[in-house]
Amino acid sequence: MTFENLVFGIDNGIATLTFNRPKALNALNLALLEEFGTALDEVEKNQDIRVLILTGAGEKAFVAGADISELAKMNPLTAKRFATKGQKLFSRLESLPIPVIAAVNGFALGGGTEVALACDFIYASEKAVFGLPEITLGLIPGFGGTQRLTRIVGTNMAKELIFTGKTFPAADAEAYGIVNRVCAPDTLMEEVMKTARAIAAKGSVSLRAAKEAIGCGKDVDLETGCRFEADAFGLCVASRDAAEGTSAFLEKRKADFKGSLDN
């Protein structure tokens, strides 16, 4: 599949989607968001994809934010539509049944931080810079940043970061709990791919069940969350993944999951 503003490829069950507007530091414009939606369509329908990685083209930026030249021309109605479009796309990203890893290789500001927050977890280059600086433009985050950041770092820290609009390095993002791992710039994709391959080697049914159980349970009480978990566990037991995994354990061999969602 060929795009103008994205690069999309699949290798051994791992899909990589690269934001590809390096001259604009991969800023999110309407054309890129349209293509992003099309790419998500492809990911959703391709059951051979077990893991999705997002990263940015070039050495400077993951996504440097929304395209300010487009924002400056918007009226209240078009601005609301733009925000709603981005929110829906990032919610689709977050709701994908497969694991999604953000490989943040440079500036991840505004919409860049927001798209990374919608992934399951983030690995970042030591050169990465995060932040929601919309307040410095007289705006606020519009692609879910006020909501997802608060759920990760807590209300008080989210208020400080959003009210000041300050940017912060990958090491601080790791300390805040935003980033899982900080890597040397030249090893970032190697580390991301190592983790992606480890995940892709697991059973598709159990991966999807684990992600759904975590997602369904994070905003409910413990008892309700555990009910979600029990339902998902029961469905896993009926899958080919479970039959292969348990047989491999008993036979003292490595499990060979086929990636099928069939039971």
- Catalytic site residues? 114, 134
Residues near 29 by beta carbon (within 8 Å), at least 6 away in sequence: 5, 21, 66, 67, 70
| Alpha-helical segments (H) within the chain | 30-45, 68-71, 76-95, 111-117, 145-153, 155-164, 170-176, 188-200, 204-217, 222-237, 240-250
DSSP 24: G
Q: Is 19 helix (H, G, I), strand (E, B) or coil?
A: strand
The b-or-e profile of 240-253 (16+ CB within 10 A means b, else e) is bbbebbeeeeeeee
Separation CA 175–CA 153 (nearest Å): 10
Q: Are 109 and 137 in contact (CB under 8 A)?
A: no
Q: Is 124 helix (H, G, I), strand (E, B) or coil?
A: strand
Separation CA 148–CA 162 (nearest Å): 12
